[in-house]
Chains A and B, each alone.
Chain A
Amino acid sequence: MTTAPIVSVRDLHKIYGKAGQKQYEALKGINFDVQPGEFVGIMGASGSGKTTLLNILATLDSPTSGDVEINQQSLTSLKGNQIADFRAKQVGFIFQDFNLLENLTNYENIALPLSLQNVARKKIQPEVMRVAKQLDIEAILEKYPTEISGGQKQRIAAARALVAHPAILFGDEPTGALDSNSARDLLEMLTSVNSEQQVPVLLVTHDPFSASYCQRILFIKDGKIGQELKRAGQTRQQFYQAILDALGTFD
């Protein structure tokens, strides 16, 4: 493939703590690319730096050094409002704890990214209905987040992440707070969104089951990418086994 990558990470470092104080290097030189339409997983144990990496990719945090390009836009060149706008327009983010606003209805939650871009009321409605239909949440749009189950909440969150047509969808352990059935539903939904709409997905997880839905997995350990695993035509079951094997040797 010769198309430009959607995500390109070069020699990324992240050191927590101010100079002179107690410092901790969470990322020690990360390099990888995500190609258009890919479903990539990043796996690692707790504390290995997954959230740190994803937060930097989503402009929620800044790297100590190194470069990140998303959709051929360098994140380090963004300033002030551009950062917030980039987040609103280019990335969709699904969090482990849903991050829904409980004082808005589900519909309003999904519509929020469009409202923030001052999209006209008339245009917002069809967009919301489009993602709602796709994610099968039309029946719960008028409810509040506290009135629905965890799995449904994560669907609403996914709808909100997708409504503004992002260049890429990030998920930070999106199944972490879900029971196994809801987790499976969500992963299947992500897979179909990925394959039908060609939205690239970058999923961060420590759970091999979730990872088995990906096409390619990067293993992160102590702030470095250690190993890469490709699904390459295997069934999900086979891939799951391969991940477990890899984890055994990786540790």
Chain B
Amino acid sequence: MLTKLAFTGVKSRLKDYVVLFFGLVISSAIFYMFEALATNQSFIKANAQVTGASFIFQFGAILLTIITLVYIFYANSFLMSMRRHDYGLFMMLGAKQSKIGQLILVETTVIGTIASVVGAIVGCGLTGSIGALLMQHMLGEKLHHFSAVYGPAVVATIGLYIGLFLVAGVINRLALTKTPVLQLLKGDSQPNRPTLKPVSQILQVVFGLSFLVVGYYAMSHIKQLNLAAIPIALVTIVLGTYFLFNAIFVWLVVLLKRTNWATRGLGNFTLSQLSFRIRNYTKILSIVSILFALALGAITVGIGFNRQIKTMATANSAYSAALVDPSTKTNHLINKLNLATKATYSQKETKSTVYYNAGEFGQHPFQATGLGETTVFDSAKKSKLGTPKYIKLTVNQLKQNTDKLSFLQSGSQRIKAVKVVSASQFESVKGQPHQLTLFRVKDLKASGKLMKQIVKSAGITSYDNLPGSYGLFVMGTALFGGLEFMGFFLGIAFLAMLASCLMFKILSGAASDQRRYEMLNKIGTRPQILRRSIMNEILVLFALPALVGVVHVLFGLQMFKVMMIDPYNQLWLPFTIFFVLYMIYYVITVLLYEHIVLPKLKIDK
């Protein structure tokens, strides 16, 4: 009987359950995809050369597990908020607590199990399609033992989800059977008088700021502090954020309530809604802002790494490639490129030395980057990640910097000394004559297709034997591409989960808000004013952690100064991607909330 009742309860709120279920499936699918890729041996091996790659992967897996935990907690509280009233009613009708407890446990685990199994299946699909595609793109053709269905990952995903839901079920059961029936029926309606306690609030602000300063300091001094910087920063920033939210949120609401805006329309109501939940929300807002920072940071760094590969490669040499005695066919292909410069120099190769004709360098000066300067980049340009400064060397300069030339020698010439001699001396040298063709393309990435053909036609089998920036670029992409993928993927996964957490947290309150909006409607509030109030309220809840998260990221990028040329370059790109996705979650949340809360207008024909 009770089971039947419970079932009808679920049926009447099917739409909300679909949302919950959908969120869970997405989350477990993402978790699976990550696990499958992160623990996939072929992927790990392909990236084995990258220092710290496996560390980053483990770090990512742990972070993802933590956020999944948080996510399930909020998804579950949403589930409970929908069922509170039903359970209260059952109890009032005389259902035994143990029976209710059993119901809760069954319901929670059934949802968790189905969601994780469906999620794992969806995850396999995602991994096989998007995951494989991305990896192929990042790593070239090295993906041999790749499979979408990866046993250990399936076990990990389903195991983690069912485990967490069992725990959640037990907690729900305890919480619900301990709550008085009346409170279950009424929901929490205790007002939360927003009061100003100046001393404690100033203290909290001071503490919060000091914690943040320590955290930011740790991140910007990662060179001195090494890996210790990360845990120090995490702890202090979490605490700092929490204190700041706690102190400033209340203060902000109280101040805003005194303004004229508050007495217009539903301004006061919106503020009261916010202050009503301050205590509930400071925690999740702090968590979300940290996760927001992690996610945005991951995407930013990921994209930054990828951009950096190209820049580093370009900066390394003034020439994209150096070919010895290219065939006419190869030459023909080279001329098809979008070239910035091209030059051919004569060589004479002896047992230990390669000779060059100084006269030729007089006519067509040799180009180099970063000659005797601390930075290879054009300091006149604002961005440090701009194009490098190419300097035309005089013959004398070249004679002093023969390493620039020897860097471009490959194969048998690689370890031989370089001598730039006068035309007459060059004539007299007895050695094998060669032609060295040097060229620079305007854009390494855009020239990729032709360059591949050139490499093939020149008979070069390993990029080790292709001096110049293009070879470095290809190898760098293989090496760091995984990192970009990782950063991007982690970032999106984090975003999806943190935004869902916030969404479920907000929606959990919707059930008890329903009455309030019904009342407002009864006293004659225009529907669009109700809607605006909802939009404002949720906007604040979304924007606050985002703002704080952005500040965290801006400071957090300091950490990557050790590894990257300019982590702050072109920040708008990852930020835009991130904000668009975040806004989508905002809109979905608003729509769902309105769906739950707004009274169905009876006169609306």
Chain A contact residues, CB within 8 Å of chain B = 55, 58-62, 78, 81, 83-89, 91, 93, 95, 99-104, 108, 111-113, 115-116, 118, 120-121, 124, 144-147, 160
Contact = CB atoms under 8 A, between A and B. Distances in A.
Contact of B525 (A59, A78, A84, A102): A84
A93 B191 contact: no
Q: Which 4 A-B pairs have the closest CB atoms?
A: A88-B524, A87-B524, A144-B191, A103-B276
Most buried by A among B263, B520, B525, B527: B263
B567 interface: no
B273 A103 contact: yes
Interface string B253-275: 00000001001111111001101
A65 B525 CA distance: 25
A113 to B, nearest CB: 6
Given A83-B603, A124-B263, A112 B272 contact: no
B526 A146 contact: no
Contact of A88 (B272, B276, B523): B523
A101 B603 contact: no
A81 B522 contact: no
Contacts, number: 94
A112 B519 CA distance: 11
B307 interface: no
B132 to A, nearest CB: 51
22 contacts: A59-B603, A60-B602, A87-B523, A89-B524, A99-B522, A102-B191, A103-B191, A103-B275, A103-B276, A103-B516, A108-B268, A111-B263, A112-B269, A112-B523, A113-B523, A115-B263, A115-B266, A116-B265, A124-B263, A144-B191, A144-B193, A160-B523
B363 interface: no
B382 interface: no
Most buried by B among A88, A103, A116, A145: A103
Nearest to B603: A62
Interface string B583-605: 00000000000000000001101
Contact of A95 (B192, B520, B522): B522
Contacts of B521: 84
A84 B273 contact: no
B603 A116 contact: no
B524 A85 contact: yes
B189 interface: yes
Given A104-B272, A116-B265, A144-B191, A93 B525 contact: no
B264 A118 contact: yes
B529 interface: yes
Nearest to A147: B191
Given A81-B527, A95-B522, A111-B263, 16 more contacts: A83-B603, A84-B525, A87-B522, A93-B522, A93-B523, A99-B522, A101-B516, A102-B191, A103-B273, A104-B269, A112-B268, A116-B526, A116-B529, A118-B265, A144-B191, A146-B189
Interface string B517-554: 00111111111110000000000000000000000000
A133 B269 CA distance: 24
B269 A102 contact: no
B602 A62 contact: yes
B524 A113 contact: yes
Contacts of B193: 144
A246 B367 CA distance: 112
Given A112-B269, A116-B529, A60 B522 contact: yes
B527 to A, nearest CB: 7
Contacts of A120: 263
Interface in B485-527: 516, 519-527
A89 B526 CA distance: 12
B602 A84 contact: no
B400 interface: no
B195 interface: no
B191 A115 contact: no
B190 interface: yes
B265 A115 contact: yes
B525 A101 contact: no
Contacts of A55: 602
Contacts of A100: 519
A4 B571 CA distance: 70
A101 B276 CA distance: 11
Contacts of B263: 111, 115, 120-121, 124
